[in-house]
Amino acid sequence: MRIGIIAIQHESNTFVQTATTLDDFRHDALVCGEEVRQAFDGALHEIGGFFTGLKHAQADAVPIFAARAVPGGPVTKETFDELIATMLKQLDAAGDLDGLLVAPHGAGVCESDRDMDGYWLELVRQKIGDSIPMICTLDAHANVSQRMIDACNATIVYRTNPHVDQFERGVEAANLIVQTVNGTARPTQAVCLVPVAINIERQHTESEPCQSLIESADEMLKLDRVLSNSVVLGFPYADVEEMGASFIVVTDNDPELAAELVKKLGDELISRREEFVAHLIGIEEALETASQLEGPVCLLDMGDNVGGGSSADGTLILHALRNRGEMKSCACLFDPQAAEQAITAGVGAKLTQFSMGGKLDERLGSPLVTDVEVVSIHDGLFTEDEVRHGGKNEYNMGPSAVVQTDFGATVLLNSFRTPPFSLKQLTSCGIDPTEFQVLIAKGVQAPLAAYSPVCPHSIRVNTPGPTSADMEQLTYQYRRKPLFPFERKITDE
Ligand SMILES: [Zn+2]
């Protein structure tokens, strides 16, 4: 049994000005054929799960193509055309296949199609015809389109946020494709696109209100003909028609049951929708609270959410910390220019009126200008072996420097935009996270998988920016209407 593997993954933030190009994919992952196996076999990622699951089922994995870039602005037309051309060429070269496993992100936007993933899944389906089963995995931040669902026999979505079950979902998809090919399962799926956008601040799956929603889905899995189901949280930072939450149910050859169950889950969210509105805490209140808690306190900088596509150089919390002037803090900033200056100056150098961050997006604050001492310099490479959000093992922050400010903040300057998904980002640069009262992590839920083990408390801070949790402040042009919370009335009740 030969099962092909294709992945094109990008979470595209349409509120970010900088477009995503081929270089961004090259920097993260852009691999063909056997290179896909080398890059992902063994990784705690859904593609790693594909390889492991197929191996256990004694099916042959046929790696075809994988492309992934750090979340950012929409993918340029040229880049997407190039990715598609390479993918189709590799698919042609793969020979006869019995089935296909595909791993889009689900919230990809490209300049030529706002439903990037729906587009390429449909293209693959046209290419392989209707007789070859295709099973899809998605990030829980997918904005699911009917086109994505129609192209695939089944769709399996991460069940956790932070995403720590990517590998398991990959194994699940591999098992289901093998069962489908050998005829022991006949998956059929239904989707319910709910007119509710779940606020990013409410999307932690281990706490309410998400937890009980997922428990309702877990309960359904016990039913006889249910093969899989998914609670899709949605990605609010893509201005697309499908933006919002959705539910997917996959049954064994029972489309009526799939449709009935998916509606039941949708109705639960609609009736509980007020619980999914954000609780917003401003910077000053967050710092005041953090000063009274046992440290280190993880301050989640929601407006500069790197994993949501933001620029990673926001300075608003650092400015506020300087104004308070009493808390030992640590932050990472993407600033290749500052990193290079610090590296050139060398360890021990004292730099006056040194400018850091605040250069890429005026919503995220002005540059932080202060006296610093260069503490250490690094190549920026580190490996994460634990299960962490994103399932990535090898990281490259580019040439990096640690500087100490004159107001108690330690700042790690990176040359590549790096989401805070691993504490190795700090420890590989000689920073002991337990020494600080506050650690700034530029994200909302994703950093918690890494930071919770050392931080007894975390506070989600409502900072402005292209990933502001105050999504009613963002201007949408393409979203569907009505959509809660933008329209409070979405039903006839
Ligand atoms: Zn996600």
Compute, in angstroms, the gap from residue 140 CA to the centroid of ligand 1: 5
Residue 204 CA, ligand 1 centroid: distance in Å: 11
**Residue 403 burial class via C-beta count within 10 angstroms: exposed 0-12, middle 13-18, buried 19 and up:** buried
Q: Decide if pLDDT at 493 tops 80.
A: no
CA 445 / ligand 1 centre spacing (Å)? 9
Report percent pLDDT > 70 for the chain. Answer: 100
Dist. CA 133–CA 42, nearest whole Å: 25
Task: For 26-47, give the secondary structure using H, E and C.
Answer: HHHEEEECHHHHHHHCCCCCHH
Q: What percentage of the chain reaches a pLDDT higher than 90? A: 96
286/290 Cα distance (integer angstroms): 6
Residue 221, C-beta contacts closer than 8 angstroms, at least 6 positions apart:
228, 229
Rounded Cα–Cα distance for residues 178 and 95 (Å): 18
For residue 375, how far is its CA from the centre of ligand 1 (angstroms)?
Answer: 34
Q: What is the Å distance from ligand 1's center to 352 Cα?
A: 40
What integer is the mean pLDDT of 393-415? 97
Ligand 1 centre from 308 Cα, in Å? 8
State the distance from the centre of ligand 1 to the C-alpha of 73, rounded, in angstroms: 15
- Tokens in use for 405? 């400010």
Spacing, Cα 141 to ligand 1 middle (Å): 4
Rounded to the nearest whole angstrom, what is the distance from the C-alpha of residue 163 to the centroid of ligand 1? 7
Alpha carbon of 187 to ligand 1 centroid (Å): 25
Span from the CA of 36 to the centroid of ligand 1 (angstroms): 21
Q: Which residue has the tokens 């290749």?
A: 336
What is the whole-number distance in angstroms between the Cα of residue 235 and the centre of ligand 1?
8
* pLDDT for the residue 3: 98
CB 74 within 8 A of CB 113: no
Query: Which tens digits make up the pLDDT trace of 267-310?
Result: 999 999 999 999 999 999 999 999 999 999 999 999 999 999 99
- 65-115 pLDDT per residue, tens: 999 999 999 999 999 999 999 999 999 999 999 999 999 999 999 999 999
pLDDT at 492: 73
In angstroms, what is the span from residue 196 Cα to ligand 1's centroid?
A: 18
- Burial track 266-276 (b if 16+ CB lie within 10 A, e otherwise): bebbbeebeeb
Give 343 Cα–ligand 1 centroid separation in angstroms.
34
301 and 440 Cβ atoms separated by less than 8 Å? yes
C-alpha of residue 176 to centroid of ligand 1, in Å: 23
Please report the domains of the chain, with CATH numbers, ordered by start residue.
Answer: 2-276 (3.40.50.2300), 283-469 (no CATH)
Q: Calculate how far, in angstroms, residue 376's C-alpha sits from the geometric centre of ligand 1.
A: 33
Enumerate residues 6+ apart whose C-beta is below 8 A from 89: none
Task: Give distance in angstroms: CA of 112 to centre of ligand 1.
Answer: 23
How close is the Cα of 8 to the center of ligand 1, in Å?
14
Average pLDDT, the chain: 97
Query: With a threshold of 0.85, does the pTM exceed it?
Result: yes
Locate tokens 């300057």: which residue? 413
Question: What's the 158 CA to ligand 1 centre distance in angstroms?
Answer: 8
For residue 51, pLDDT over 80 is answered with yes
Residue 249's alpha-carbon distances to 237, 261, 424, 489, in angstroms, are 25, 7, 37, 26
Tokens of 313: 């150089």
Rounded distance from Cα 390 to ligand 1 centre (Å):
8
Tokens 């340029």 belong to 76
Q: How much is the average pLDDT of 118-124?
A: 98
Q: How far is the CA of 302 from the centre of ligand 1 (A)?
A: 14
Residue 408 DSSP code = S
CA distance 246 to 342: 47
Give the position of tokens 């590549």: 416
Q: What confidence tens digit (pLDDT) does each residue in 158-193 have?
A: 999 999 999 999 999 999 999 999 999 999 999 999
Of 356, 351, 357, residue with least CA distance to 371 = 351
Give distance in angstroms: CA of 236 to centre of ligand 1.
Answer: 11
Q: Which residues surround ligand 1, an ion (CB under 5 A)?
A: 139, 141
Report how far ligand 1's centroid is from the alpha carbon of 143 (Å).
11
C-alpha 67 – ligand 1 centre gap (Å): 16
Helix (H/G/I), strand (E/B), else coil: 249: strand
CA of 123 to the centre of ligand 1 (A): 24
Residue 303 is given by DSSP the state G
The Å distance, Cα 324 to ligand 1 centre, comes to 34
